[in-house]
Amino acid sequence: MSQDSNTHFGFSQVPVEQKQAKVGAVFDSVARRYDAMNDLMSFGVHRMWKRFTIAKSGVRKGYSVLDIAGGTGDLSRKFADIVGPEGRVVLADINASMLEVGRTRMLNEGYAAPLEYVQANAEKLPFPEDSFDCVSIAFGLRNVTDKDAALAEMCRVLKPGGRLLVLEFSKPQNPLLAKMYDAYSFKALPMMGKLVAQDSDSYKYLAESIRMHPDQETMLGMLQTAGLSLCKYYNLSDGIVALHTGIKA
């Protein structure tokens, strides 16, 4: 991606080199209230989506797992329970505020080994190739500037036979639900953000970023282009969210 080109920030166009900072400002703003807003916005259903992701991960005791854009640690905590002290779970996030919230939360809940915390850009992961049995990214890929580069990096750091999990908002399959979802996203979410997080603009961006994210079939092709095989996706809540998976050959 050319450094003098533009990319989307929600529905707006911004220079490529500015998007990372703008996304960072959004998550600096929402970090402290991120968990409460997730429960409120999804009516708690995000927990079911994440449980489904864990169930499809194939992670076992002793595995090494990289949780990219791991934020406040929902997936990392579950992975840590599964892999045990013999395993390794790296909670990675590009945003220092989100990473600190996640680290504090995990320590307060008594989690130590096998957890590690790394501030990392998904487009340039600071890990050797063939490092992890599983790589996950939940509700983070849509915020990445160069998604193809990030997916290629995720594939690079997977071990042969390792699995990538991409949990992300996608395209509802029912047209009536899609209309209701649009109304909720663009009217209710910013209002909730203003009332709960004192920040309506960040939640307006989050709603817009969902609409700019590739649909299910496009994402499937992107995983295949990144070098993954046996790629598939599962529509959750009629496609409001989709889990994409792929295996490194």
Query: Residue positions in the annotated binding site?
Result: 72, 93, 121-122
- Judge whether residue 212 has pLDDT over 60: yes
Look at residue 12 and tell me if it is in a domain. no
What is the CATH number for 137? 3.40.50.150
Look at residue 8 and tell me if it is in a domain. no
Look at residue 75 and tell me if it is in a domain. yes
Is residue 207 classed exposed, middle or buried when 0-12, 13-18 and 19+ CB atoms within 10 A define those classes?
Answer: buried
d(Cα 23, Cα 80) in Å, to the nearest integer?
28
- Judge whether residue 164 has pLDDT over 70: yes
Token pair belonging to 187 = 């009217």
Look at residue 186 and tell me if it is in a domain. no
Look at residue 5 and tell me if it is in a domain. no
pLDDT in tens, 117-157: 999 999 999 999 999 999 999 999 999 999 999 999 999 99
Look at residue 14 and tell me if it is in a domain. no
Q: How many domains does the chain have?
A: 1
Residue with tokens 């209230």: 33
pLDDT in tens, 61-101: 999 999 999 988 999 999 999 999 999 999 999 999 999 99
Structure confidence at residue 20 (pLDDT)? 83
**pLDDT band at residue 2, thresholds of 50, 70 and 90?**
very low
Look at residue 4 and tell me if it is in a domain. no
Which residues form the domain of 95?
Answer: 22-173+204-248
DSSP state letters, 106-154: HHHTT-BTBEEEEE-BTTB--S-SS-EEEEEEES-GGG-S-HHHHHHHH
pTM of the model: 0.88
Token pair belonging to 75 = 């997936």
- Judge whether residue 193 has pLDDT over 50: yes
Which of 29-43, 60-74, 148-162, 178-192 has the weakest average pLDDT?
A: 29-43
Query: Residue positions in the annotated binding site for S-adenosyl-L-methionine?
Result: 72, 93, 121-122
Look at residue 6 and tell me if it is in a domain. no
